[in-house]
Amino acid sequence: MNILVTGMTSLQVNPKRRPIRKIDVPEAMVNGLEAMGHSVNWCRWSLTYNDAAMNYYDLAIIGLSYVQSWSGRYGLQALYAVEQLRRLNKPFVIFFDDWQIEKFYGEIAWTRKNYKKQFYKKLGDGTLFHTETGGHDFRWVKKREKDILSAMDFLLTDLSGSRAVALCPMYNFGKPELFHGYLKMKPKNIYTIDPTPAVIDMTEIKRSAPARSNGWLLASLSPQDKWAEGLQLDWPVTYVGAKKIGAPRLKTEEDVRELYKTHVGVLAPPYPHVGSGWFRSRFVYAALHHCVLYGHHLDLETFYGIGFDPHEFEKCGPRIQRGIAKAQRESVLDRMNTMKGFYADLDAVVRGAKLRRVRKGNTNG
């Protein structure tokens, strides 16, 4: 099959240069689909492309994000692609690589309401925010305006229809029903992929735990200091990632993993999807590097089957602490997905999308 993979952010549209090398689930999907024999074009879509260009593809995977954020500056192009796919009755998948889906939809709704201003807003130097080339030409935005608005209306009203397919990264032992409960739109057809074996180097799985000092590591791009302070822990907490609280931002995942090797404990702040098993690398990193992870009781139950008191843990001797780390490690690593399982996840998504083409004016058939 000829498959298009595109989206709203640089991570979703095959970036060549990024200041921070995060785990790249879209790249893992592209590599997996190609390994399965598909021909994949991973690129930023353009408002200049006509329907003949889209008609080349048998399937498309479209990543959604914040349409008005700096990282989502390709949002209008992605929305235009959605409308082309609907018009051509092509199967497509709406992909979410960030859990803040309800906020994405809130921003799409707000932009839809204020499109006359938001579609055509400019930066300080006069160039377009939503742009093809970084220039001053509104021509293509104006030409595709109706298509973009129609795609917004579809996403805001019809994603729950039986023909729409959504895709989220989740561990294969998670509880998707908890994530469904968090979503207001309740999509009927939501697929999950567990990308772990494709995005995390597991070569250290057999190595012993290095010597480390007592302390907790909290790696997060969003400020989580208030939550951690509320735990009233005795051990010091090392923050990385969140610039808003003055924490250093590391450039690569390898840099992050090096810190895991120097801490006994890892903190996992709760998100609205808590307990669902949404893919978050810290659970695997903690297991690989013999750390103990503490977080919300629903996350602890999903990943380890049982929780613990962090204050009591801090008072335990090293032998008991290592025993808890070992139990958590085995609970996670014994259930890790395999590349065979990852390919099976992708195949299920492709097959599901092909069965549920979304035609304009007929989204529930």
Average pLDDT over residues 129-147: 76
Q: Is residue 362 part of a domain?
A: no
Residues 113 and 68 in one domain: yes
- Based on the domain organization, do 119 and 253 belong to the same domain? no
Tell me: do 185 and 219 sit in the same domain: no
In this structure, of 30-34, 79-83, 178-182, 195-199, the range with the lowest mean pLDDT score is 178-182
Query: What is the tens place of the pLDDT at every residue in 102-119?
Result: 888 889 999 999 999 888
Look at the chain and report how many structural domains it folds into.
Answer: 2
Alpha helices in the chain (DSSP H): 25-35, 51-55, 75-87, 101-113, 115-118, 139-143, 145-157, 176-182, 196-199, 225-230, 253-260, 281-288, 297-304, 310-315, 318-333, 339-355
For 324, phi and psi rounded to 5 degrees? -65, -40
- pTM over 0.85? The answer is yes
Q: Using an 8 Å Cβ cutoff, are 360 and 87 in contact?
A: yes
One domain for residues 156 and 245: no
Q: What is the pLDDT of residue 362?
A: 46
Same domain, 329 and 347: no
Domain assignment present for 360: no
pLDDT of residue 365: 37
Same domain assignment for residues 259 and 134: no
Residue 213 and residue 179 share a domain: no
167 is a domain residue:
yes
Specify the range with the lowest mean pLDDT, choosing from 92-106, 124-138, 163-177, 330-344. 124-138
Q: What is the mean pLDDT of residues 87-113?
A: 90
pLDDT tens for each residue of 31-79: 999 999 999 999 999 999 999 999 999 999 999 988 887 777 789 999 9
Name the residue range of residue 325's domain. Answer: 203-333
CATH classification of the domain holding 305: 3.40.50
Are residues 191 and 245 both part of a single domain?
Answer: no
Instruction: Kindly report the average pLDDT of the chain as a whole number.
Output: 87
Looking at the domain assignment, is residue 175 inside a domain? yes
Note whether residue 319 is domain-resident. yes
